[in-house]
Structure 1
Amino acid sequence: MFDTSFFKKTLLIASVAFLYSCDKDYNSIGDGLLGDNHFGLEKSSFDVIGYNQKTGPVQSNNLAVNPLGIYDTDGFGSTTANFVTQVALETVNPVIGKNPVIESVVLTIPYFSTLKSTDTNGDSTYTLDSIYGPDNAKLKLSVFESGYFIRNLDPDTGLKESQKYYTDQNAMFEAVKASMRLNNSLDVGQNDLFRFSADQYRYTEMVDGKETIKREAPAVRLDLDKGFFKTKIMDAVASNKLVSNDVFKDYFRGLYFKVEKSGANPSGLAMLDFKKAKITINYKEDTSDTDPTRVAKTIVLKLIGNTVSLREHTSNAVYANAISSAAVNTVLGDEKLYLKGGDGSLAILELFGKDLYGVDGKTGAPNGVADQLDLIRANKWLINEASLVVRLDATASANDKKANRVYLYDFNNNKPVSDYFYDNSTAAGNGKSAKFLFGGILNQQNPADSYYKISLTNHIRSLVKNTDSTNVKLGLAITESIAVATSNSLKTPTTKISKVPTASVMSPQGAIVHGSRAVDPKNKLKLEIYYTKSN
């Protein structure tokens, strides 16, 4: 008799193996799943009107991750990313004994890193993620006490709305620094010649009376000024400045991280999760009045609370001209589209232009048919698959690191298109490639023809089926995290644009892609539809 249990198990294993094989290559993930086998289906490609849109300064407080450093690119210019954050006590109202003496104050900010290997001695090697710039990049890094109180609520709205801070407010925080440079170690690798290092941190510690080697994953590690923290923290206990974090945050208003060029050295930038950072004050105090033994203790400060990502971007001439209002062609679209994170730029896309390109390469439309969408509706197409194909301009910024992902959204309403919500796919081991069916992940298996492909099947189906639905404009932007689908406000909104995707604000990256008027027709921005004609 046939063993159905065995059959089911075999089918399950085969299915898992198949899905795993689809997920092995990051660059092609999701691309094949959007459909390669279209037997019996017909295909039409539609040109898409796409043009550049400059954003300008944008709200940048309380982002999930933040850049720190200087990123120089051929395609866009140079971005300097500073950062300011509030600080909170891990344990409020600490009790400090007699004769406390600080031995060290250490700031640690973990990198996004991956363990590669561990040898027989227990030493490990790591690779760092989200680091931009050459391997020999160096920065002049300075950490100061911030003198600016970052508010929760906006007094101009009667404290009814959250306070917004913007990318262009660096000068405001710079002007009120409240201390000298805190990372003033004689080790210039911690300040004037700072670099992002993948090296494992090794140190010794006494465990049960025995000296033991300890190891930690790579992180920014800075020795901070002991005298400052003696006065600012230890001495402030007596005046009740550490009694609660509300009191403490007004007293110690946070840290301001400033980066500058380090001489003639090339620069670099890292994406960091400052919420996982901490300052550890290591000190010793007397055990009691009668016991001369000194006891080791710590006070830990967490870099949590309100934050602001501060950017200063110097555009090169080509980029500045391309996104200027005088150069943008909102009727026929632009030759190249410049997608730049932070206070950069995005592209506005219009599907089914009125009688511009026709269907299947035929110019014009029948009498009484207003545009391509009406023609599809009239012919009662059954949409099997639709996707936007955006080709990377491989020569425009050949030496720059290419953005891994772009995000397509409903520009009119500042929300994701429906295909975003239909996709609950995840990719094991790589959170950045979640929602891979929705797509937008760079496919660069052929470097000369790299492209982003984004699913619009449900969006197009809805437009075709619901004749009263609005053919909204779409926005195309860089994204740091596909999981973040909210929007941030522009400092100076216009009638055309008032918000941009939050995940685009987070990212320091950019991508130059071919637009509507690409020189080579095969590179044009395309909407590809596979369909079945209704009988």
Structure 2
Amino acid sequence: MNFNTFAKKSVVLLFGFLLSCDQDYNTLGADLVGDETFTFLAGEDKSSSITINDLDLGAVQSNNLSVNHLGLLKNDYFGETTASFVTQLQLATAAPVFGTGIEVDSVVLSVPYFSTKLSTDVNGKGTYRLDSIYTNTKDYYTDFKTDKLPAFNLEVFRNNFALNDYDINDITKNGKYYSDQESVLDVVVGEKLNNAANPNENTNFKPNQAEFEKPKVDDLTQKLLPIKDNPGNVGERFSPRIRLHLDKSHFENNIIKADSRYLINNNAFVNYYKGLTFRVSRNEGIMMGLDFKKGDVTIYYKQDRTDNKGKEMKTFVLKMTGNNLNILKHNKSAIYASALSSNTPTDNLFLKGGQGSIAEIKIDQALIDDLKNKGALVNDASLYFTVDPNFVNSLSSSNKSFYYLNPMRLYLFNAEKTRSLLDYTNDITKLTNVPKKDKYVHGGILQKVNDKYMYRIRLTDHINQIINDKTGTYTNVKLGLAIAESIYITPEAQGLSAISALKNTTNILKSIPSTAVISPLGVVLGGMQGDNKVQFKISYTKRN
């Protein structure tokens, strides 16, 4: 603890120096006026003034998330998570008018991967790296070649479960569906739809980083032109994506030949067809993050030309923009289950995305009262969390595998209102081309410090807001600490759509930010004991 007494000008000069060196910003109140003297207390350890507990979330609301997952991921510390997916289909064109003599050529399901374009050759062909691919095959992260990934069994069925827009018990509220509704996966109609002869589209599926090249169509024959060794025959190029050929007869009978009243609008269509179910099995450990709303099912067909001069090629598109649901089955490991069931502080905290867990943090009211009584101006208040070294070792075959399998960011929020802290709102810092690292002063970003991996989160403005409040508006609420897929998938950035309700609301916590739900990852942190325990440090200025 350092005590120094100096005049106002010295305070300002010192703070200016700290700002320029550390690129941090501190709250310098306008109350420092006149010829009064002040005492600056730097980095006081207040770790004994906080309590932290793991909180098992149970089932979480997982419908209509901005990112969904499909696959399976294993972790020695957390266990095994399997992600399945259900989506409504919607008509790209309502009330279609089909011609005569229809012959369905093919039906293709397409969902783009998150990817980064690395280069383009002289013919315009792109080379890509897939993003949001998580695998237990850690060597994949050395060069991101998808041929290293394990294959698994992928099945697509027609779904027959209605995902309603509104709560059937209260139509003024949006419908809520939860991550544990596994029974939905069994409400299907007919046989598997992705029944192509190519096993890479079903029983031996794995992601592919190759660009998709769509051939041109010969005007006379209406046949696709060959593109091998003929780059001029490439009509369009698309980023890497899931592409599955679906059963032609199913879509001819249920879409092309459907009663026109079922295709009059999307309300009628959703009541009739519902959508698709995606299930995985025989998976050795690969999870894909996908934006299914950018996916579609395209029916390619030929019909008679109106001038009776043969056939013409047509397409009919079904979009995946309807309601959807991510179903998450989590088989907890023994160590994870034990940690969540413990009622006493432990050496570790377990944070897990999806149907997982967060940490609940409470700052001792006595500390808040002490700062108030001192008339303190908090210049910095930060929480420091250290990743458990044994957990680091369990993920690492290389630095790359650790950085991709360990959460890049943690998010601290008001757990009682599911809102961001004032520090989040006030922080306008941005990192060019890396939006996931924006608001880096508020922090929560993984960093390496003296051979340890740590997260630092500033809550300076939050503390000042409480101790300076004269109306009782801002109180010392419980805080939540969660995995963050994106710092922008928050209520402040996206409104109520970024809040996921909890199915079990016996705790004070009723909901969590959706950014925690859409991450499949977990991290083990030092807890309230041991060499890697949580630290809470405050630097503040008080009048003498």
Shorter-chain TM-score range = 0.7 to 0.9
5+ residue gaps, structure 1: 1-30, 355-370
Is 1:480 paired with 2:475?
A: no
Contact map agreement 1:91 1:300 (CA 8 A) in 2: yes
Match of 1:190 in 2: 201
1:133-212 residue pairs with structure 2 within 5 A?
133=135, 134=137, 135=140, 136-157=149-170, 159-171=171-183, 173-206=184-217, 212=233
In the other structure, the counterpart of 1:10 is none
What letter matches 1:58 in structure 2? V
Q: 1:93, CA displacement in angstroms?
A: 1.2
Letter in 1 for 2:339: A
Alpha-carbon shift at residue 185 of structure 1 (Å):
0.9
Matched, 1:418 2:422: yes
The alpha-carbon deviation at position 315 of structure 1 amounts to 0.7
- Name the residue aligned to 2:74: 72
**Is this contact kept in 1: 2:156–2:276, CA < 8 A?**
yes
User: Would you say the 8 A contact 2:84–2:280 is kept in 1?
Assistant: yes
Paired residues of 1:75 and 1:319 also in contact (CA < 8 A) = yes
* 8 Å Cα contact 1:183-1:225 kept in structure 2: yes
Q: Secondary structure at the match of 1:470?
A: coil
Residue 384 of structure 1 deviates from its aligned partner by 1.4
In 2, the alpha carbon distance for the partners of 1:225 and 1:445 equals 54
Aligned length: 471
Partner amino acid for 2:489?
V
Deviation for aligned residue 1:188: 0.8
Percent identity between matched residues is: 36
In structure 2, what residue type is equivalent to 1:192?
Answer: T
CA distance in 1, matches of 2:276, 2:63: 14
The AA in structure 2 aligned to 1:282 is Y
Any idea what SS the aligned residue of 1:160 has?
strand
CA distance in 2, matches of 1:147, 1:42: 62
Matched-pair contact (CA < 8 Å) for 1:183–1:223: yes
Q: Which amino acid aligns with 2:381?
A: A
Kindly state the Cα deviation for residue 100 of structure 1 after the two structures are TM-superposed.
Answer: 0.7
Pairing partner for 1:58 from 57, 60, 64: 60
Matches within 5 A, 1:93-108: 93-108=95-110
> In structure 2, what is the Cα distance between the partners aligned to 1:298 and 1:497?
48
Matches within 5 A, 1:398-409: 398-400=393-395, 401-409=405-413
Number of the residue aligned with 2:535: 526
Residue of structure 2 equivalent to 1:242: 263
SS at match of 2:174: coil
2:322 aligned to which of 305, 321, 325 = 305
Structure 1 segments (4+ residues) deviating >3 Å: 31-36, 38-41, 206-211
Deviation at 1:445, TM superposition (A): 6.1
Shift of 1:413: 2.2
Give the alignment's TM-score, normalised by structure 2. 0.82
1:494 equivalenced with 2:506 (yes/no): yes
1:13-37 CA-partner distances (Å, limit 9, x unpaired): xxxxxxxxxxxxxxxxxx953369x
Matched, 1:131 2:148: no
Contact 1:382 1:534 in 2 (8 A): no
Residue in structure 1 matched with residue 24 of structure 2 by the alignment: 34
Distance apart, 1:430 and its partner CA: 2.2
2:43 corresponds to which residue?
43
In the alignment, the residues of structure 1 paired with residue 256 and residue 464 of structure 2 have an alpha-carbon distance, to the nearest angstrom, of 65
**Amino acid paired to 1:312:** K
Q: Look up the match of 1:26.
A: none
| Larger deviation, residues 499-508 vs 77-86 | 499-508
State whether residues 86 and 159 of structure 2, in contact with CA within 8 Å, keep that contact through their aligned partners in structure 1: yes
Q: Distance in 2 between matches of 1:322 and 1:397?
A: 18
User: What's the CA shift string for 1:376-422, capped at 9, x where partnerless?
Assistant: 33333321122211111131253331011111011122211111111
Contact 1:149 1:250 in 2 (8 A): yes
Q: Residue 205 of structure 1: CA displacement?
A: 1.4
Larger displacement relative to structure 2 (436-445 or 82-91): 436-445
Residue aligning to 1:280: 298
Distance between the aligned counterparts of 1:32 and 1:106, measured in 2?
A: 53
Q: Which residue of 2 aligns with 1:232?
A: 254
Amino acid at match of 1:456: L
Mapped to 1, the partners of 2:190 and 2:46 lie a distance apart of 59
Name the aligned partner's letter for residue 302 of structure 1: K
> What is the DSSP-based 3-state SS (H/G/I as helix, E as strand, rest coil) of the residue aligned with 1:432?
helix
Q: Could you tell me how far apart the structure 2 residues matched to 1:180 and 1:155 are?
A: 30
Hey, which of these two has a bigger chunk of helix by percent?
A: 2
Supply the distance in 2 between the matched residues of 1:87 and 1:426 (Cα, whole angstroms).
37
Between 409-418 and 306-315, report the one with greater CA deviation. Answer: 409-418
**Does residue 436 of the first structure (1) align with residue 445 of the second (2)?**
no
Deviations 1:224-261 (A, max 9, x none): 1111000011001x442211111111111011111112
Q: Under a length normalisation based on structure 1, what TM-score does the superposition of the two structures give? A: 0.84
Find the residue that maps to 1:79 and give its secondary structure. strand
Alignment match, 2:145: none
